[in-house]
Amino acid sequence: MVGLAGCTEPIPTRGSDAEDDRRREVLARYEDALGERNDGIETRDRAIERFNAAAYAEATEEMETALEHLSTAADGFEGAAEAIETAEGTETDEGTAADDLSAAREICVDAAANTRLQVEATEAGLAAARAADNDGDAGTINDHVEEYQLLVEEAEASPVADGETLADVLGF
C-alpha cells in the first residue's frame, strides 16, 4: 500500500461488498422472523384472553393465526442460519469473520429452536381452545393447558436475541 497521497490499493474494510450484502441479508431475514415471532406471541396472548373469557371459537381463530406467525418465524430464523452458511464461504482473511459467523449462526439456530417451542406451546393452546369449543371434558382441556404452560416456561427460559445483538455480532 502506498501513502494516502498515492493510494493504489483499496483501504481494507471488514469485508467485501458481497460479504457485507450477505451479512445484511442474514440480518434482514432475522429481523423479519423476529417481527413474525412477536406478532405470533401477541396474537397468542389475545387468544389466551379470549379463552379465559370463554370465547373459545375466537380463541381458536386467534391461536391458528398465532401458529401461522410463529411457524413463519421459525422458518425465517432457519433461513437466516442457512444464509450464514452461504456467507461463510466468502469469509475474509481477517481471522474474526469465521468466529463472527459462527456466533451469528448460533443466535439464529437458538432463535429457531426457541420459536419451535413456541409453536409447540401454541399447538397445545389451540388443542385446548378446540376442546373447549367442542365441549370437551375438563381433564383433556386442562392437560392441554398444562402442556401449553410448560412449553411457554421452557421457551421463556432462553430468550431470543434482539436484532441489535445480531447486528453487533455481524459487525454493523
Q: Note the pTM of the prediction, 2 decimals.
A: 0.84
Q: 143 pLDDT band (50/70/90 cuts)?
A: very high
DSSP string, 31-45: HHHHHHHHHHHHHHH
Split at pLDDT 50, 70, 90, the class of 27 is very high
Q: What pLDDT is recorded for position 89?
A: 55
76 vs 112: CA distance, rounded Å: 8
Lowest mean pLDDT among 50-64, 92-106, 118-132, 158-172: 92-106
Sequence spans of domains, the chain? 15-89+98-170
How does DSSP assign the chain, residue by residue? ---GGG--SPPP-SS-HHHHHHHHHHHHHHHHHHHHHHHHHHHHHHHHHHHHTT-HHHHHHHHHHHHHHHHHHHHHHHHHHHHHHHHHTT--TTSSHHHHHHHHHHHHHHHHHHHHHHHHHHHHHHHHHHHHHTT--HHHHHHHHHHHHHHHHHHHTSPPPPHHHHHHHHT-
- Residue reference for cell 391458528: 64
